Amino acid sequence: MEGSTVGWIGGILGGILGCIGGLIGTYFSIKNTNGPKERAFMIRCVVIGWVAIAIFLALLIMLPNPYRYLLWIPYGIVLPLGILYGNRKQNMIRESEKEHNQALSTDS
């Protein structure tokens, strides 16, 4: 088998495994939410994340050198900031839903 064939097989298998991992992560991120507001927020985050990554990958394929390499700069900044924002917002929603549920249980 030629080296280029091995490269194609590795690229295709890597892409498939990456998508499967993303789908599993998406499923459990939504499944492990504690309430309706948190679930709605997580679904919104998932949709934004999948769309953003699809756009990023499309641009990597379509843009010529050296512009495709410059895409990594905003990606490397926006991705961690988006994760931090999402985690903080999810914790705030979790706390507010916990307080709301506690208030409802003490009223009964």
pTM: 0.81
For residue 108, pLDDT beyond 70: no
Give the mean pLDDT of 14-39.
94
- Number of folded domains in the chain? 1
* Pair 59, 71: CB distance under 8 Å: yes
Indicate whether 19 belongs to any domain: yes
> Which residue from 91, 59, 82 is spatially nearest to 72, judged by alpha carbons?
59
> Using one digit for the tens of pLDDT, what is the confidence trace for 54-79?
999 999 999 999 899 999 999 999 99
Q: Note whether residue 59 is domain-resident.
A: yes
102 inside domain: yes
> For residue 10, is it within any domain?
no
Answer yes or no: are the C-beta atoms of 60 and 71 closer than 8 Å. Answer: yes
User: Within a domain: residue 2?
Assistant: no
Domain of residue 45: give its range.
15-107
- Whether residue 4 lies inside any domain: the answer is no
Whether 3 is in a domain gets the answer no
Q: What pLDDT is attached to residue 74?
A: 94
Q: Cα(34)–Cα(60) distance, rounded to whole angstroms? A: 36
Average pLDDT estimate for 3-20? 92
Q: What's the whole-number average pLDDT of the chain?
A: 92
